A and B are shown apart, each in its own frame.
Chain A
Amino acid sequence: MRRLVYLLPILLVAALVAVFWRGLDPARDKSALPSALIGQPAPALDLPPLREGDPSFSLAAFKGKPVAVNFFASWCLPCRAEHPLLSRIGDEFGIPVVGIAYKDTAANARGYLAELGDPYAAIGQDESGRAGIEFGLTGVPETYILDGEGIIRYRLAGPISPENFADQLAPEIRAVLQ
């Protein structure tokens, strides 16, 4: 029994190493989790606008052309990291990027955009996180590509990086645009 106590540290470390080993599996792509909603129509969100003076936010307003939906929050660190890349979606493909401020107070979300710049065509405010549930959000940031019919064609979970922008996001947008 006493011996078992001294074995405990090595057993714990062995378990941890096993977990890390699984975590390093190259097949585990952190950003491409399967989403049950791919190929399904996007939920028709109707949310209060984040920006004062904007009309009420509705995804239906963007029907007819592809659109990128980005969930963000001021309390989310990776969101800051991906922020400069959001405007590239509009610049390079000419499609609007709409933002949804997930589980965030309006004041904080506005402050966040005031500080980093506002790349969004429209912003819905999702303080309760309902829109996140409807989209099956797993965390922030998360970016969805919708086609002209409002069907979800692609989901990128986690922050956009220069690498996954080039390898994943850009080809997917191109495919939707064709």
Chain B
Amino acid sequence: MIPELGHYALVLALVMALAQGTLPLIGAQRGIRPWMQLAGPAALAQFAFVAIAFLALVRAFVTSDFSVAIVAQHSHSDMPLLYKISGTWGNHEGSLLLWVLILNIFGALVAALGVNLPPRLKARTLAIQALISVGFLLFLLFTSNPFARLADAPSEGSELNPLLQDPGLALHPPMLYLGYVGFSIVFSFAVAALIDGKIDAAWARWVRPWTLLSWTCLTGGIALGSWWAYYELGWGGWWFWDPVENASFMPWLIGTALLHSALVVEKRDSLKAWTILLSILAFGFSLLGTFLVRSGIITSVHAFADDPTRGVFILILLAIAIGAPLTLFALRAPSLRAGGLFAPISREGAMVMNNLLLATMTATVLLGTLYPLILELFTGKTISVGAPFYSATFGVLALPLLFLMAIGPFLGWKRGDLKGALQRLVAAGIAALGAGAIALWIKLDGPLLAPLALAGAIWLLVGTIIEWAERVKLFRSPWRSALRRARHLPRAAYGMSLAHAGLAIAIIGMTGSAAWKSEQIQVLQIGQSLQLQGYDFKLESIGPARAENYLADRAHFVVTKGGDHVADLYPERRQYLVQPMPTTEAAINSSFLADLYAVIGEPDGKGGWTVRVYHEPLVPWIWFGALTMVVAGFVSLSDRRYRVGAPVKAGGAQSAKVPA
């Protein structure tokens, strides 16, 4: 009964979305106020219906209602509660429902919080958001009904894929979707502005907090996914340039560019057409990602559903959702006049460079992702594009970006003083050269990119600290007044400093782990040990362990260095009971400078076990850097001037400088 209720709620949501997607649009065009005002309540009602449907599905999973097809396929009554809940989005249909739910959360937030928005803009934005929703609700109802029942309900389900039974992965999809789908509202704002024909500083101010919120969630979602791959897949890597990883990374790159270009629109009334284009493309890349994951067009470990009819449906959706706004863009954008003049050496000039580099990096990733498909279609050859391609292109593009990132904040709007900026960065330059030299000294014959990237990251980190210190006049004024300045610095300024520093920290971690990782594989008997990087890993014992839904062999390693005890590691090799699939559970000991990482493999039948250990320098920095960026996003969002959806009217108290 409840699943039918959920299904019915989805149908009602579709009806609501149809009303919300048409009437306010016509109302805004013809100036019919009541029709425009319909958008807000309709968005809230649509959200309520989708939320009912979602909760109905969660209930089916929690109560193990195996008469619902996807529950029978992806759940099991013995699974821990957390994975029963996360099983809701651990499959194609359920994750799509989560997608639609988040789409509606953003619509409802704009409806509820956007009281200061001009009515026309608000009506059109919500209408566009509803039209996206119509497309996805149709997709859900016609090709991927999550509430489909089974005629013969099995007495037990076939369990969630063991790899997905993990707390990191319970959180990864909702977080990622908040970011992915959050760009939909930015997209809707952009299309509404294109229809309106008016893009100004106020528009940019309304759009920025939503971009920032999406960007922050996307950063967190990507980092969670990467962290999960690192500790769960058991081969010590955290990024594989897999097509689906790239699919989430491209909206992130475009979103980062958008954050900066929207600021130029706001401050300098320039880069308008470009900013609109980025707003459309950020969501466009989200849709592309959805298409790649769900159509089975590309071979990937993440692939959800290998169903061509679904692929055709999303492709049509993608073509309409991106094609229509871009056609409008081609018609309207040429008439958008840029405001002020543009000096190459200025804050806005630096942001243009930032945008050019980020756009090129996105294009590189797109090329690497789609090249195998294009080559196969035209020549019949199949190839795969891997890390070497990306470090040669993406890595090389990232270096000038790092270099500019430290300088940009020192340049003023309109006219910057490059010489002065560089003079203030002398300390950062010295630190960067030192770091590069140390990196070379550690490993002379490694890839050259590593010392360069490390130097770039240190340059950015120190440069960011100097910039903050200058703002608060640290050491140049009595500490009490510096403290007061630090307290009164706008939150958005802290957001920028933290985000830039977080990226620098993460890049230090990525470089360290990519360049200096070492590993050792050996067959060990109980009591034997192996050595890696001065650490001694002794295999103490291996014994059975069991939990509700798996059996495991659990090993105990004692790690020592020079005789001193460092850590105990307990890697496992699990055998899930329902799906006979062995999974490895790595044991990781993190310290400031490195992770020690151990995995056990198969027994050799003669009392020995294959053991694989890694020394992963600086990996904890990646997670710390990503966390810093997420915190930075929220700090920035909490800035009074950016209260989500309730921006100050143009011409208000806007005298303070707002950095990126």
Binding site for B on A (CB under 8 A): 2-3, 6-7, 9-10, 13-14, 16-17, 19-24, 26, 28, 30, 33, 75-78, 80-81, 84, 107, 110-111, 114-118, 138-139, 157-159, 163
Contact partners of A158 in chain B: CB under 8 A: 299, 382
Contact partners of A118 in chain B: CB under 8 A: 602
CA distance A156 to B265 in the complex (A): 53
Minimum CB–CB distance for B36 against chain A, Å:
29
**Chain B: how many interface residues by the 8 Å CB criterion?**
52
Task: Please determine whether B295 and A10 come into contact, CB atoms closer than 8 angstroms.
Answer: no
Contact partners of B150 in chain A: CB under 8 A: none
Q: Give residues 356-390 of B contacting A (CB, 8 Å).
A: 370, 373-374, 376-377, 380-384, 386
Task: Please determine whether B295 and A114 come into contact, CB atoms closer than 8 angstroms.
Answer: no
Minimum CB–CB distance for A74 against chain B, Å:
9
In the complex, residue of chain B having the shortest beta-carbon distance to the beta carbon of A25: B308
Report which of A23, A75, A163 forms a contact with B377, defined as CB distance below 8 A. A23
Minimum CB–CB distance for B360 against chain A, Å:
14
Task: Please determine whether B299 and A20 come into contact, CB atoms closer than 8 angstroms.
Answer: no
Contact partners of A80 in chain B: CB under 8 A: 301
26 contacts between A and B (CB under 8 A): A6-B330, A6-B333, A9-B326, A10-B329, A10-B330, A17-B315, A19-B374, A20-B315, A24-B315, A26-B308, A28-B377, A30-B299, A30-B382, A33-B380, A75-B386, A76-B384, A77-B301, A80-B301, A114-B523, A114-B601, A115-B601, A115-B602, A115-B610, A117-B602, A118-B602, A139-B382
A23-B297, A84-B581 are contacts. A3–B374 as well, Cβ < 8 Å? Answer: no
Minimum CB–CB distance for A55 against chain B, Å:
19
Task: Please determine whether B612 and A13 come into contact, CB atoms closer than 8 angstroms.
Answer: no
Binding site for A on B (CB under 8 A): 234-235, 240, 242, 273, 277, 280-281, 284, 291, 295, 297, 299-301, 306, 308, 311-312, 315, 318-319, 322-323, 326-327, 329-330, 333-334, 370, 373-374, 376-377, 380-384, 386, 519, 521, 523, 581-582, 584, 599, 601-602, 610, 612
Task: Please determine whether B308 and A33 come into contact, CB atoms closer than 8 angstroms.
Answer: no
Minimum CB–CB distance for B25 against chain A, Å:
21
Report which of A9, A33, A138 forms a contact with B330, defined as CB distance below 8 A. A9
In the complex, residue of chain B having the shortest beta-carbon distance to the beta carbon of A112: B235
A13-B322, A20-B297 are contacts. A33–B582 as well, Cβ < 8 Å? Answer: no
CA distance A14 to B330 in the complex (A): 13
Task: Please determine whether A114 and B610 come into contact, CB atoms closer than 8 angstroms.
Answer: yes
Task: Please determine whether A139 and B384 come into contact, CB atoms closer than 8 angstroms.
Answer: yes
In the complex, residue of chain A having the shortest beta-carbon distance to the beta carbon of B373: A23
Contact partners of A13 in chain B: CB under 8 A: 284, 319, 322-323, 326
